[in-house]
Copies of this chain bind each other. A is one copy, B any other.
Amino acid sequence: MIAALAGGVGGARLCAGLAAVLAPHELTVAVNTGDDFEHLGLSISPDLDSVMYTLAGRHDTARGWGLAGESWRCMEALKALSGDDWFRLGDQDLATHLHRTQRLREGRRLSEVTRELCQALGVRHTVLPMTNGLLRTRILSDAGELAFQDYFVRHRCEPRFLGTRFEGEAHPTVELLAALGSPSTQAIVICPSNPFLSIHPLLALPGTRQALASRGAVAIAVSPVVGGAAVKGPLAKMMRELGLPVSPVEIARLYQGLIDGLVIDVADAAQAPAIEALGIAVSVQHTLMGDLPRQQALAEGALGFARGLRRRDQ
């Protein structure tokens, strides 16, 4: 069994690759819900949706989020009524939020609702929210403390990033702790998601960091930094604002103690010794995943790397 920890687009892409090479019972994806928020009375889980839509093959590859072939008639009408269109919701995507919101109001857990949605979308691998509770990522910035989506969407990540604060009392889902701790888990894969925004919230859940640090399984990460830039999103900007070099060495430092190995891109091969000096093994691969064959190739490469590390441990 493979346990993947994922956030948004990059995470979703690697998960699609993993799902292409693993049977449904062999893959559990635990997804960040620190970005979740209530908007227009709807319970929105952006990262869960990115992972679900991508695993279902229904995601929009050009836009990078939401459903393919989406339309925006409700949003246009809403803009005409209220001007409130800063967070764009497609007509088809709205159905996911309406259904999720209704089921949560009926008292269902987010993990149950996610299972239902996956079933309806034809996703057969296990997709889990990191928690059924509320843990909200707050952004500390030079514009003050901002709710995640205020920073990310409304302000387009423009304020200077100073750090995060995680608000709320939440516990990891039992399925997440089981996936991290189970003897049948062969490897834990931290996907190439933004460490600050997608992985740290997950690690902020009580017991998760400890479970990862004391794991029996090998753990690897795939670097979201390639050639001095982030593949997608504000990660490089955030690292610069924190005074950190934008390099996979810094990614390795962020995960030090939690991972045995790091997959880096061929563009960063020269960084391997500095990462290995941190006690983290390195695998150099083509990590850009524009299409499913490349997602699958990276998944195979990462799993092969993890298997090799496992053998080395024994």
Q: Which residues from chain A sit less than 8 Å from chain B, CB to CB?
A: 40-42, 71, 73-78, 80-82, 84, 91-96, 98-99, 101-102, 105, 116-117, 120-121
Contact = CB atoms under 8 A, between A and B. Distances in A.
Nearest to A91: B73
Contacts of A102: 40-41, 84
B120 A98 contact: no
Contact of A99 (B73, B78, B98, B116): B78
Contacts of A93: 77
Nearest to A80: B120
A74 B99 contact: no
B92 A73 contact: yes
A139 B282 CA distance: 70
Which 6 A-B pairs rank lowest in CB-CB distance, beginning with the nearest?
A77-B95, A78-B95, A73-B91, A77-B92, A81-B120, A91-B91
A44 to B, nearest CB: 12
Contact of A74 (B41, B80, B84, B95): B95
Given A71-B71, A98-B41, A105-B41, A91 B120 contact: no
A71 B91 contact: yes
9 contacts: A41-B102, A41-B105, A73-B91, A73-B92, A74-B74, A74-B91, A78-B95, A81-B95, A91-B91
A56 to B, nearest CB: 11
Contacts of A71: 71, 73, 91
For A71, A98, A121, which residue has the most chain B Cβ atoms within 10 angstroms? A98
Contact of A81 (B40, B42, B81, B96): B96
A294 B69 CA distance: 42
Contacts of A105: 41
A76 to B, nearest CB: 8
A95 B82 CA distance: 9
Contacts of A77: 91-96
A121 B117 CA distance: 35
Contacts of A74: 74, 91-92, 94-95, 98
A36 to B, nearest CB: 16
Nearest to A92: B77
Contacts of A116: 82
A82 B101 CA distance: 12
Contacts of A73: 71, 73, 91-92
Nearest to A89: B98
A91 B71 CA distance: 9
Contacts of A41: 41-42, 98, 101-102, 105
A165 B40 CA distance: 33
For A71, A82, A84, which residue has the most chain B Cβ atoms within 10 angstroms? A82
Contacts of A81: 95-96, 99, 117, 120-121
Contact of A40 (B80, B84, B91, B98): B98
A42 B74 CA distance: 14
Contacts of A95: 74-78, 80-81
